[in-house]
């Protein structure tokens, strides 16, 4: 089955009891047994819920995995991956990382005696230099947030496989439509389903997808033992969102391409980060591991000041100033004061998060309207 067909049909069957074509929301906490132990695979809803089962099976298929575990948020999914670690273990992570993941690693798990090292990974050899016998996990995001750097998943996977270290890829920015890390050698894919998977800015959830049965067994254990499962209503909304994932990603990418090109030629813009440009430092890697380049773009103004960035962010009409990404509506954000505000200025400058860096999550509106909106906002500068 090809991708768009899978979004609709993989793991999704008409409801066996009624024939309902849409997976019902099984809003129940428990399941009746006729005699002790005689259940039909469902005993208690933290452990199993039929709406969640369908979503998990569908997401496993979309990422070409064999098992998927859904959580109440992307962070809860990341937290479950971190449960694979023990005191004394070491983790190597991208330095250009989702702020919440950075916080979880450095402010929660570092206190449990786990050591985290952060490094740029556009050159995967950086990982080889940091691996020790204690390294248990390499954590990457690609494209990175918010500077859209690209990491070569195949090359990183070769290194982690040589050292028997788990490789987890946070695939939130790309979505399963643009990129399937398990096919490139990753052990686990993590998603914030809150973003492109849900796609309509109306739910918070997360997922882990993997292939190895032993790893799946451990993750299933943590999902059930720690209990941060996604509720049936959110699973239903995610399933509904996924039905248009391919169409949405095509439009996000199409609009992204037009807006990246517009920004690149704008006289007030110094630099645009978008992996679709031929002169993007890892464009060839992006072209080989991604199906298209998506709708996430960031750019820096020639006048690199917080004031100019604030003015631009407050002057758009269609682009809403908000955190998050991946919804059908376009968003504009200022990482230095919003998503990356907790990172000290010197640190963020090192990874390219300049004062005037602006991040766009391009929606599925008509590109002409989005271009006009940006043009008008630039005229306010």
Ligand X SMILES: *Cc1c(COP(=O)(O)O)cnc(C)c1O
Catalytic residue positions, numbered = 46, 98, 170, 195
Question: What is the nearest approach in angstroms of ligand X to the Cβ of residue 369?
Answer: 25
CA within 13 Å, CB half, 99: 16
89 token code pair: 């273990």
- Quote the least distance from Cβ 372 to ligand X, whole Å: 28
Contact between 98 and ligand X per CB under 6 A: yes
- Which position has the token pair 């979503």? 55
Binding segment toward ligand X, per CB under 6 A, in 43-51, 113-121, 166-174, 340-348: 166-174
What letter would DSSP give residue 30? Answer: B
CA distance linking residue 177 with residue 254, whole number of Å = 14
Residue pointed to by tokens 């110094």: 270
To the nearest whole angstrom, how small is the minimum distance from the Cβ of residue 104 to ligand X? Answer: 9
Q: Is the alpha carbon torsion for 223, 227, 228, 232 positive or negative?
A: positive
Decide: is 73 part of the binding site for ligand X (CB under 6 A): yes
Stretch touching ligand X by CB under 6 A, among 37-45, 57-65, 72-80, 222-230: 72-80
Quick check: helix, strand or coil at residue 219?
Answer: helix
Instruction: Determine if 75 is a binding residue for ligand X (CB under 6 A).
Output: yes
The correct pick among 28, 39, 100, 321 for binding ligand X (CB under 6 A) is: 100
**Using rule CB under 6 A, residue 74 touches ligand X:** yes
Complex with ligand X: residue 51 or 73, whichever CB lies closer: 73
Residue 12 or 197 having the CB closest to ligand X: 197
- Cβ count near 212 (within 10 Å): 16
Q: Which of 51, 56, 172, 351 binds ligand X (CB under 6 A)?
A: 172
| Residue among 103 and 258 whose Cβ is closer to ligand X | 103
Which token pair is 7? 């979004």
| Residue from the set 26, 102, 118, 173 that interacts with ligand X by CB under 6 A | 173
| Smallest gap from residue 84 Cβ to ligand X (A) | 17
Q: Which residues contact 122 (CB under 8 A, 6 or more apart)?
A: 149, 150, 151, 281, 282
CB of 144 to ligand X, least distance (A): 9
Residue 185, phi-psi category: left (phi > 0), alpha (psi -120 to 50), beta (remainder): left
Q: Which residue is nearest to ligand X (CB)?
A: 74
Pairing of strands 320-321, 331-333: parallel
Task: Tell me the closest approach of the beta carbon of residue 323 to ligand X, in angstroms.
Answer: 8
Distance CA 321, CA 173 (A): 18
Give the residue among 214, 226, 196, 235 at the shortest CA–CA distance from 328: 196
Please choose, out of 9-17, 192-200, 297-305, 351-359, the segment that lies near ligand X by the rule CB under 6 A.
192-200
DSSP 3-state of 232: helix
141 binds ligand X (CB under 6 A): yes
Q: Binding pattern to ligand X, positions 21-60, x when CB under 6 A?
A: ----------------------------------------
d(CA 84, CA 218): 8
Please compute Rg for the chain using Cα positions.
Answer: 21
- Looking at beta carbons only, is 59 or 301 nearer to ligand X? 59
Question: Which residue, 206 or 363, has its beta carbon nearer to ligand X?
Answer: 206
Told to check if 196 binds ligand X by CB under 6 A, we report no
In angstroms, give the least distance from the CB of 60 to ligand X.
19
SS3 173: coil
Based on the shown chain and the rule CB under 6 A, indicate whether residue 99 belongs to the binding site for ligand X.
Answer: no
- CB closer to ligand X, 58 vs 142: 142
Among 96, 170, 187, 292, binds ligand X (CB under 6 A): 170
Is residue 145 close enough to count as binding ligand X by CB under 6 A? yes
Number of other CB atoms surrounding residue 181 within 10 Å: 29
The distance of Cα 35 from the centroid of its chain, to the nearest Å, equals: 43
204 binds ligand X (CB under 6 A): yes
Distances in Å between the Cα of 140 and the Cα atoms of 52, 96, 339, 354 are 26, 9, 18, 22
| Interface with ligand X (CB under 6 A) | 73-75, 98, 100-101, 141, 145, 170, 172-173, 192, 194-195, 204, 206
């Amino acid at each position: 089955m090809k991708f768009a067909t899978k979004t609709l049909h993989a793991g999704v069957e008409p409801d066996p009891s009624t024939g309902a074509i849409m997976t019902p929301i099984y809003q129940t906490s428990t399941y009746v047994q006729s005699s002790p132990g005689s259940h039909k695979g469902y005993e208690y809803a933290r452990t199993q819920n039929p709406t969640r089962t369908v979503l998990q099976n569908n997401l496993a298929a979309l990422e070409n995995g064999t098992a998927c575990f859904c959580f109440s948020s992307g962070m809860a999914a990341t937290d479950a991956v971190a449960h694979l670690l023990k005191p004394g273990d070491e983790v190597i992570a991208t330095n250009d990382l989702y702020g919440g993941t950075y916080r979880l690693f450095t402010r929660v798990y570092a206190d449990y005696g786990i050591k985290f090292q952060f490094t740029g990974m556009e050159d995967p050899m950086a990982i080889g230099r940091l691996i020790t016998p204690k390294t248990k996990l390499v954590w990457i995001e690609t494209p990175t947030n918010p500077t859209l750097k690209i990491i070569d998943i195949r090359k990183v996977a070769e290194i982690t496989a040589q050292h028997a270290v788990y490789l987890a890829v946070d695939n939130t920015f790309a979505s399963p439509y643009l990129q399937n890390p398990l096919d490139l050698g990753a052990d686990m894919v993590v998603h914030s389903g809150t973003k492109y998977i849900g796609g309509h800015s109306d739910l918070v959830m997360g997922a882990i997808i993997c292939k190895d049965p032993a790893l799946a067994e451990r993750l299933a254990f943590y999902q059930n033992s720690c209990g941060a499962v996604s509720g049936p209503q959110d699973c239903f909304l995610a399933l509904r969102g996924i039905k248009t994932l391919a169409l949405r990603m095509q439009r996000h990418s199409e609009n992204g391409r037009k807006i990246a090109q517009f920004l690149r030629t704008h006289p007030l813009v110094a630099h645009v980060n978008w992996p679709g440009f031929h002169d993007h430092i890892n464009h060839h890697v992006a072209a080989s591991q991604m199906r298209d380049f998506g709708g996430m773009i960031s750019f820096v103004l020639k006048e690199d000041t917080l004031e100019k960035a604030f003015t631009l962010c407050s002057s758009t009409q269609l682009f809403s100033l908000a955190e998050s990404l991946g919804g059908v509506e376009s968003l504009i954000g200022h990482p230095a004061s919003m998503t990356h505000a907790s990172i000290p200025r010197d640190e963020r400058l090192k990874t390219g998060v300049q004062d005037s860096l602006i991040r766009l999550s391009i929606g599925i509106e008509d590109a002409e309207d989005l271009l006009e909106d940006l043009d008008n906002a630039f005229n306010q500068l």
